[in-house]
Amino acid sequence: MKFEFCREDWVQKPCDVLVVALDDDWAQRSEFQSLDQASSGWFRRVMQSGEVSTKPNKVSMLIAPTGIPAGVLCIVGTGNASQSACNTYFRAAGSAMKALASRQRSTVRFVGFGNSPLEIRAAIAGALVGSQGQDLYKSEKSTFAPEIVEWTGSNDAQIRAGEIIGESVNLARLMVNQPPNRMYPETFTDQAIEVANDAGFSIEVWDKQRLIEERCQALLAVARGSIRDPRLLILRHRGAPPDSEPLALVGKGVTFDSGGYSLKPTDGMLTMKCDMAGAATVLAIFNAIAKLNVRRNVVGVLGLVENLVSGDAFKLGDVLTARSGKTIEIHNTDAEGRLVLADCLDVALEEKPAQIIDFATLTGACVVALGNDVAGLMSNQTQFQVDVQSFTEKCGEYTWPLPMHSFYSEQIAGKVADIKNVGEGRWGGAITAAKFLEEFVQTKPWVHLDIAGPAFLDSAKPWCDAGGTGFLVRSFAEWLLA
């Protein structure tokens, strides 16, 4: 799929499909007026008929429109487009493209998707998301990206930036959607090396022997049940002078999570290929910021393991010594992601970052608290938390803060070791998991993002197929670009 800026009269230039975004106040939109004039009033009559909806993400296909040289006129609703405009245009463009991707098309032109550069980039990313399905291994494909996508109301630079961000979102989605027999620590590493070489950032790989030498005993314990060796990846983007402190991004990469001896039920295990979404998110952010030439130093640390059951798998009651030297009692082997992140956070500290952000599909408790569309946001610094929440909300990817009061730490206090890897009972599980991670960041400004809900769709949305969503790739690419 190739993106191009439409420099000619968008109404009169022929195309296969003309996609136009219209809000509830459609009669006042210049796009409507141009189409109505070209069609000698036909389009006004169509809109007045009530057969075309402007409700958000509603797609209407008008075949062989009068006076308009397009095989199909596709109208997608944006409702009240002034509300959360980035999210509105991202979803509208995705909904239109997803509807059109049911068959192969040559040239598709988008008109009326946003006003600001941020909105336009969001819409372009949405179109890319709508063009990619999860039919990776189907004999007969069900999703087809058009050959050429033309965009109006922008310029070449903005279109390229939106394309990079959208491709990065789709990279995260593609990796999450890979089945666990094809996506495991070694193959994730191979993919990450390809991405690094293409985008132009550096990558350092720690194999099992290096992890042993580096005393990453918490991560290694989780990996023991699998025949597939773990990996730890360190990514580096150098966009600022060497003495500029980097931002550290840390990602949980459990490529499959059975729960270990705290075994998950079948239904809970079926989608656990998505438990590496945090690591995929960080890799995709690096792809975006390297290609966008972000002027900031950023380091990424990804911990990659499988959590399986075997005679050598770690057990309830085990005591582990993390890389930092802190000891951990294991009370639940399905609370494994925080063990992986404990060592990754300690590695990140050695890079002397200004701030640390971790991304993890960490707890079902966060989904219970916030649902499937909002990520949990926890931090040891209020202003850092506010900054992250405000920008993700501006981009239309929602995060919400959960309390981090000191008394929550009492729930993870150990009796045999320094701490234990779960809290007391079911209550506040997302928070006690975050308090566990806080033990490994010292006093460094830190944000924890529990993306367990929004990282994966059990069923399709109008703008995105089921499976991986690439949640937060767009927000953090934009945040670092700003």
Catalytic machinery residues: 264, 338
Tokens of 194: 């390809």
Nearest-angstrom CA–CA distance, 341 and 360:
9
DSSP H or E run through 438: helix 429-438
Tokens of 128: 């890319």
Task: Give whole-number Cα distances, 292 to 125, 132, 157, in Å.
Answer: 14, 22, 10
Q: Which residues, at least 6 apart from 80, have a Cβ–Cβ distance to it below 8 Å?
A: 23, 24
| Nearest by Cα to 356 from 340, 390, 380 | 380
Helix axes 85-100, 117-130, angle to 10 degrees: 30
Burial class (CB in 10 A: 0-12, 13-18, 19+), 48: exposed
Q: Are 177 and 245 in contact (CB under 8 A)?
A: no
| Nearest by Cα to 355 from 414, 429, 298 | 298
Nearest-angstrom CA–CA distance, 283 and 191:
10
Tokens of 72: 């199909």
**Residue 233 three-state SS:** strand
Task: Give whole-number Cα distances, 36 to 54, 104, 323, in Å.
Answer: 16, 28, 67
Give the residue carrying structure tokens 């060497």.
242
**Residue 254 three-state SS:** strand
Nearest-angstrom CA–CA distance, 41 and 314:
72
Cβ neighbours of 401 (radius 10 Å): 15
**Residue 158 three-state SS:** helix
Tokens of 276: 């590496």
Q: Are 443 and 429 in contact (CB under 8 A)?
A: no
Give the residue carrying structure tokens 């939106």.
162
| Nearest by Cα to 462 from 153, 171, 77, 137 | 77
